[in-house]
C-alpha cells in the first residue's frame, strides 16, 4: 500500500507538467463551442481591410493549425482560407512589447499595429507606445525570443520564468516611462 502511495506521489508532478504543457503557446479564449478561439473572436482580415478590430460572427469561422478564427463576412473568411499566414497574429497573439522581454502576456485585441504586412497585438496603448520608441530593435528582440525561447512552450511557465529571471535587455514600466518622457518631453498616456 505504501509503494502504491509513493508511486502516485512520484507521478503527480509528471501529470501536472503534462496538464500544464497542454496550455500551449498561443493566446486563445473559449467562447460557446469554440474552445481555442483566436483574437477573442475578432475577424483577422478586418485588421487589414478595415484598419480596426471587428467582431466576427460565430456562424462564419475557419480552422487554422487547430485554432478557430471568426469572420465578419464570408468574403473575409475566403481571403483568410486562401492565405492564412498573411492574417494570423504574430507571437501567438501575445503582446509584442512583452515578447521583446521573452514574456508572453495576453494582448488586447483592440490595440494593434500592422508592420510589414503582419499583425502585431499589444497589451494596451502604453505597451504599443513603448514598443514604437525603438520598433526595429524591439521587433528583432521579440522575434529572437519567440523563436529561441517562447514558441512551443507553456506560456504561463515561460511568463513565470522570465518575470523571475529577466532577459539582459529588460526594462521596467517606470524605466520605459522615464525614457519616453526624456525622448518626447511628455508623459506616456
pLDDT per residue over 165-178, tens digit each?
Answer: 999 999 999 999 99
In terms of residue numbers, what domain contains 69? 24-88
What percentage of the chain exceeds 70 in pLDDT? 87
Q: Is residue 15 part of a domain?
A: no
What does pLDDT average to over the chain?
Answer: 89
Q: Which regions of the chain does DSSP assign to beta strands (E)?
A: 28-31, 34-38, 57-64, 67-71, 108-115, 118-122
Please tell me the predicted confidence (pLDDT) of residue 2.
40
Please list, residue by residue across 62-74, b when 16 or more beta carbons sit within 10 angstroms of its beta carbon and e when fewer do.
Answer: beeeebbbbbbbe
- Domain final residue, candidates 88, 119, 140: 88
The whole-number pLDDT of residue 31 equals 85
Q: Which three cell numbers stand for residue 67?
A: 485554432
Give the three cell numbers for residue 87: 492574417
pTM: 0.86
Judge whether 189 lies within some domain. Answer: yes
Domain contains 11: no
The kind and range of the H/E element at 177 are: helix 173-184
Confidence label for 7 from pLDDT (cuts 50, 70 and 90):
very low
Mean pLDDT of 15-35: 65
135 inside domain: yes
- 95 with 188, same domain: the answer is yes
Q: How confident is the model at residue 24 (pLDDT cuts 50, 70, 90)?
A: low
Q: For residue range 37-95, list pLDDT tens digits in order.
A: 999 999 999 999 999 999 999 999 999 999 999 999 999 999 999 999 999 999 999 99
Instruction: Judge if 70 and 104 occupy the same domain.
Output: no
Domain boundary among 88, 107, 140: 88
Count how many domains the chain has: 2
pLDDT of 117 above 80: yes
One domain for residues 122 and 75: no
The pLDDT of residue 1 is 39
Q: Which of 67, 88, 109 is the last residue of a domain?
A: 88
Of 16-20, 78-82, 151-155, 179-183, the range with the lowest mean pLDDT is: 16-20
Please indicate, yes or no, if residue 10 is contained in any of the structural domains. no
pLDDT at 6 over 90: no
> Does the pLDDT of residue 105 top 70, yes or no?
yes
Residues 108 and 175 in one domain: yes
Distance of alpha carbon 180 from alpha carbon 189, whole angstroms = 10
What value does the mean pLDDT take over residues 15-43? 73
Amino acid at each position: 500500500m505504501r509503494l502504491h502511495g509513493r508511486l502516485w506521489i512520484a507521478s503527480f508532478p509528471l501529470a501536472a507538467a503534462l496538464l500544464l504543457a497542454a496550455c500551449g503557446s498561443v493566446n486563445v479564449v473559449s467562447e460557446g463551442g469554440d474552445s481555442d478561439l483566436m483574437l477573442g473572436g475578432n475577424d483577422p482580415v478586418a485588421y487589414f481591410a478595415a484598419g480596426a478590430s471587428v467582431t466576427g460572427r460565430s456562424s462564419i469561422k475557419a480552422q487554422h493549425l487547430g485554432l478557430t478564427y471568426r469572420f465578419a463576412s464570408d468574403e473575409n473568411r475566403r481571403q483568410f482560407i486562401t492565405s492564412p499566414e498573411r492574417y494570423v497574429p504574430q507571437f501567438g497573439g501575445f503582446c509584442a512589447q512583452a515578447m521583446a522581454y521573452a514574456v508572453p502576456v495576453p494582448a488586447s485585441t483592440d490595440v494593434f499595429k500592422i508592420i510589414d504586412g503582419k499583425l502585431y497585438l499589444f497589451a494596451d496603448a502604453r505597451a504599443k507606445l513603448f514598443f514604437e520608441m525603438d520598433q526595429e530593435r524591439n521587433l528583432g528582440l521579440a522575434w529572437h525570443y519567440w523563436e529561441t525561447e517562447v514558441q512551443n512552450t507553456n506560456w504561463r511557465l515561460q511568463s513565470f520564468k522570465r518575470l523571475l529571471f529577466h532577459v539582459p535587455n529588460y526594462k521596467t514600466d517606470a524605466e520605459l516611462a522615464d525614457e519616453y518622457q526624456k525622448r518626447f518631453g511628455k508623459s506616456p498616456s
